[in-house]
Amino acid sequence: MKVDRPQFSSFEPPLRTLMGPGPSDVPPRVLQAMARPTIGHLDPEFVRMMEELKQLLRYVFQTTNEITFPVSGPGSVGMEACFVNLVEPGDKVIVCRNGAFGGRMVENVVRTRGVPVVVEDDWGAPVSIGKVEVALAANPDARILAFVQAETSTGALSDPDPLVALAHEHGCLTIVDTVTALGGVPVKVDAWQIDAVYAGSQKCLSCPPGLAPVSFNERAMEKATTRKSPCQSWFMDLNLLLGYWSSSTRTYHHTAPVNALYGLHEALLMLQEEGLEAAWARHLRNHRALVAGFEAIGLTMFVAEPHRLPQLNMVVVPEGVDEAAVRGRLLAEFDLEVGAGLGALAGKVWRVGLMGYAARPENVVKCLRAFSEVLGDAGVDVAGHEAEKAAQAVLQAG
């Protein structure tokens, strides 16, 4: 039987403004870096770049951890790398679940044959320090505390500092999800003494998806290297991965995504040039402008003000409005992507991102203009151009 030859042409993606929960807009400088000539993943020049990449990641994570590098794969692979290396069968792990990604942590504990003890909080609320303290006291045999700093499904921000301190008081290691946090809000691995942390390249680092920065301190590495049972994942076994990412003895483990790593190197270089504190301030300033604009046209935010993520804004869908239809028009007519709610929040919120390169005044204005037009057509009283005026007032005030 003859199979016809497919007739296609080169794919030309539309030019979008990405203001959803990720991926975020990628700056031209990063895209240009990724288009540079591919070289071998064991080439001496590539090895030199890998060492710079680790140093740049240490700066962004605010750590001196030797074991700091990007895992080949999205943020979910970073999550699995932490759990499969640190959780052994029978280990009791206290997991804080205040959204969908805390729920994924629970799944990881189950799949590594650990014993999860779940601390539940409402979606949109931060992790409760009081509840964690009760759980730790009730489970003196717990080995690990795991939680999400910036819950991508709800836009809620939790404070790692007291949670990590509590865990250490009770003899537990900590695993912290900073996928949406890193580069957008303070992440201070050493100051907070986080044991294992993971992130993703596609959020506030302004890089395409596909890489997961991780960092492990000496306590975590002792657990990973002295475990009684083999790591259940060959690919993510730190004892094997470090043969490739070690600066002293580099041996073949897998073919690293060479050009993707060029992009991450460039994105981190841009972040270093801007300065972490300046990047955090930029995200907060644009967030405040966006919220002022939304509130000026009568929209409300889902998360209480003290716990809002600057880089991911949860906007409550007005009663009677078809949230999917609004997203569809924003994409079709304005080339503007925003996210839908997940799980219990499906159909109830829009997730509007201001991540990395997307956290710019022109994106704030474009987003507010588009929402005002689409919601006005849907019968919502949007009070003319009040959204843009309110946002500009915040931006001009600095």
Q: Write down the pLDDT at residue 379.
A: 87
Which of 22, 23, 28 shows the shortest CA–CA distance to 267? Answer: 28
Q: Write down the pLDDT at residue 384.
A: 61
User: Is the bond preceding 23 in cis, omega lying within 30 degrees of 0?
Assistant: yes
* AA letter at 130: G
Q: How far is CA 43 from CA 244, 247, 258, 292, in A?
A: 12, 14, 10, 51
Distance of CA 261 to the CA centre of its chain: 17
Q: How many residues does the chain have?
A: 398
Identify the structural domains of the chain with CATH numbers, from first to last: 28-272 (3.40.640.10), 276-397 (3.90.1150.10)
Q: Is residue 61 over pLDDT 70?
A: yes
pTM to 2 decimal places: 0.96
334/228 Cα distance (integer angstroms): 55
387/365 Cα distance (integer angstroms): 9
126/117 Cα distance (integer angstroms): 18
Q: Provide the mean pLDDT of the chain.
A: 95
DSSP letters spanning 341-392: P-GGGTTTEEEEE--GGG-SHHHHHHHHHHHHHHHHHTT----TTHHHHHHH
The predicted-structure confidence for 323-346, as pLDDT tens digits, reads as follows: 999 999 999 999 999 999 999 899
The predicted-structure confidence for 14-60, as pLDDT tens digits, reads as follows: 999 999 999 999 999 999 999 999 999 889 999 899 999 999 999 99
Beta carbons of 337 and 18 less than 8 angstroms apart: yes
Beta carbons of 215 and 339 less than 8 angstroms apart: no
